[in-house]
Structure 1
Amino acid sequence: MENLYDRYGRLHDYVRISITDHCSLRCVYCMPEEGLPFFSSDRLLSLDEIVQMVKNFVDLGVNKVRITGGEPLLRKDAADIVRRIHAIPEITDISITTNGLLLKKKAKILKEAGLDRINISLDTLRADKYRNITRGGNIQQVLDGIQAAIRWHFKQIKLNVVLLKGINDDEILDFLHYSYNHNVNVRFIEVMPISNPIDKWQNEYVGLNKIFYLCDNNHIKYHPFDLPGNGPSENYRIDGAAGSFGLIHPISDRFCETCNRLRVTADGYLKACLYWNEEFNIRPAIPHKEEFCRLVHQALNNKPLNHKMGLNDMGKRVNGSSTWRHMSQIGG
């Protein structure tokens, strides 16, 4: 077994695997209103391909896996994927990112399959606004899914809140209150300019300093909080709270300094950086470990120090091009 380092000395021990690009929602920052042409089933990695791919990554030092989509729970074999990965002794952590709509039905089987942690996308606590942001979603299904996850005692439950100016940034205090009363980690995330026109993105962007501003102005006392996990968030807990809140700022702060993740798309392409277009088709190499390892090293050798999505970098991109994929096609 070896360890995967990129040319900047960052250790990569974590892979995010999208198991489908299909999704039951059309969130405004993730997918165009008309939707996308989803991959046919033969273009998606099979269960056996996913398991063998994880074993290949294990030989390269990876020990943490996140299952993503699209909406991963739309795959009928999602729990089987978790179970088979859990059976690999070297894997120490398995998590999933979901919109939560099917979680009430599937929390138990996912827990029994060996899932450790769950991230649930929830950008508003208001039913009408949820329908607008997701273009048709039912927030009660998500809230029921969160309660099911709490009942089944997953090691960690996180709520992903993408802040959008004039849309949900008036709910920051509501989410902080939710973290006070529920044992979850509410993660405020800056919206990223992926597959969106720059002017539209700039009009929607909210810097996360607003959270501190609102806490201070409302006399909310908080302190830094150490939350185990693989993500880039900086975490805090309000004094006396059951849960915590975190900040993920890919735009305004040093999001990339400690990046330890690789991403595999649902059709089998490896992306070393979320934002840039460069990707490697590793699917044909899954049965051929030497070629698989060569492609992974090639991807890491080309990984940039910074994605340059930052506000000060928007006009400075001189090499390469941003990804053609929408967020739902990458896996977050």
Structure 2
Amino acid sequence: MKDTTDGGEPMVRKGLGVLIAQLACLKPLGLQELAMITNGSSFANKAAQLRSSGLNRITFSLDSLKPGTFRSITGSDKLSDVLDSIEAARSAGYPNIKVNAVIIRGRNDDEIVDLARFARRNSLTVRFIEFMPLDSGHIWDRKHLVSAAEIREKINSAFPIILKNMSRRGETAWRYGFADGSAGEIGLIAPVTNAFCGDCSRIRLTADGHIRTCLFSSEEYDVRGLLEAADREPKSPTLFVLLSQEKHPAIPLAPLHSSIPRGR
């Protein structure tokens, strides 16, 4: 069992270190890994503290290495802070540091090779993610999609890559190593053109105690209310098993809201 804390942005949560330490207490009960995904803008000064609290692995969102493009995509000028956070994670001893980059045609698809080079130079994993129909602003359009196959070809033309054995079994990404033996790894996540839904056993717990079986789903289950009503009796494992079985073979390609109104 693995737990990944993301958001939103988890670093804005007050008492995050305490939460990580509390989650780490679940390791004797079967939690194998405690991970977090962050935009990296404020991680640097907390890297060592969170590592000592029990955080095992860290992934950064980094869609561009160019200040102007970074600002255009994220709305912030904190590229240097993100790069500092990646270096702080390395200094704090986090293994297998990952970077997620969502590739959007006409925005940052000209940086695919640069991001692959970044993986090689810094001995980390860069995961290239297809632009998904997941936006509350309704900006998704198929014409902006750069397929994983196209991304792979662009990288392979500059730095030949080799698919790793058993890649993507139980994971979201196809994993590639560099043919020349260079450090670093390339991941390709293709939720639109080659969905991983059939292998997915993940469930998402929201900040207000609801569960979704899929990031793209608008259906939620009030697990907090269930636990409160049951006086915290051990009924949740059955619920989790049932929810994990409610998986679909592929995602819908119509734009969906990422923020679902709670009505409360």
Q: CA RMSD in A?
A: 2.5
Name the CA distance, whole Å, in 2 between partners of 1:230 and 1:301: 15
Q: Give the structure 1 partner of residue 215 of structure 2.
A: 274
Counterpart secondary structure, 2:251? coil
Q: Which of 249, 257, 262 is equivalent to 1:305?
A: 249
Counterpart secondary structure, 2:99? strand
Name the CA distance, whole Å, in 2 between partners of 1:157 and 1:216: 22
- Structure 1 residue 68 corresponds to structure 2 residue 1: no
- Determine what percentage of the aligned residue pairs are the same residue: 30
Equivalent residue runs for 1:153-302 within 5 Å: 153-195=93-135, 200-218=140-158, 220-225=159-164, 231-238=171-178, 239-287=180-228, 288-293=232-237, 295-302=239-246
Name the CA distance, whole Å, in 1 between partners of 2:154 and 2:218: 37
Q: Which of 49, 66, 71 is equivalent to 1:131?
A: 71
Q: Give the structure 1 partner of residue 17 of structure 2.
A: 79
Counterpart secondary structure, 1:186? strand
TM-score by length of 2: 0.87
Counterpart secondary structure, 2:199? coil
After superposition, the C-alpha distances for 1:277-301 in whole angstroms (9 at most, x for unaligned) are 1110111223423553454355345
Aligned positions, number: 254
> 1:303, CA displacement in angstroms?
3.1
Aligned partner letter, 1:170? D
Name the CA distance, whole Å, in 1 between partners of 2:163 and 2:205: 32
After superposition, the C-alpha distances for 1:94-117 in whole angstroms (9 at most, x for unaligned) are 000000011111100011011111
More relative contact order, 1 or 2 (CA 8 Å, 6+ apart): 1
Aligned partner letter, 1:262? I
After superposition, the C-alpha distances for 1:224-267 in whole angstroms (9 at most, x for unaligned) are 23689964101112223221110000001131121020101111
Change beyond 3 A, Cα 1:303–1:113: same
For the Cα contact (< 8 Å) 2:17–2:49, is it kept in 1?
Answer: yes
Change beyond 3 A, Cα 1:301–1:223: closer
Aligned partner letter, 1:159? V
Name the CA distance, whole Å, in 2 between partners of 1:237 and 1:75: 35
Name the CA distance, whole Å, in 1 between partners of 2:140 and 2:214: 23
